[in-house]
Amino acid sequence: MQYFKKTSHTKYDCTYHIIWITKYRYPVLVGDIAVKARDLIRRICEENHTEIIRGTVAKDHIHVYVSAPPYISISKLVQTLKGKSSRIIQQTFPELRKRYWGSHFWAIGYFAKTVGTVSDEMIKEYLENHDKDEKFGNFQIEQ
């Protein structure tokens, strides 16, 4: 059985696999810095009503598999995760200023993939076999 989350007017299952790296891929996410990064990401996700299903803090990157509500865009979520965690990590660990002059701890960009239980083939098959009307090609209006 599939587990859906709900808000006052919505049931949803929006899951994403997100990866981002440290600037220059320096392997600085070790020891206390890794623990602080993990705790910050947990707190920021909680504040944004986002559940971490799985996650990994590697030496130079972070993987998180999250379930986020549909009213939060993935770009806004990543912006919040990277921005808040970068600022607090650099304030907490001033020794990082030697490596990261300026205010950037994370590299620009990220990887995000939606994760779901319905494959592309299942959607195509449904659309192809659902009250097919050749007159309008592959884009139809159900009557």
- Among 12, 24, 26, 126, the one annotated catalytic: 126
26's CB contacts (< 8 A; 6+ apart) are 60, 99
Closest CA to 22 of 110, 109, 107, 112: 107
Residues in Cβ contact with 88 at an 8 Å cutoff, skipping those fewer than 6 apart: 36, 40
Whether 126 is catalytic is yes
**Would you state the structure tokens that stand for residue 25, as one six-digit string?**
């891929």
Position 116: which residue type?
G
Positions marked catalytic: 126
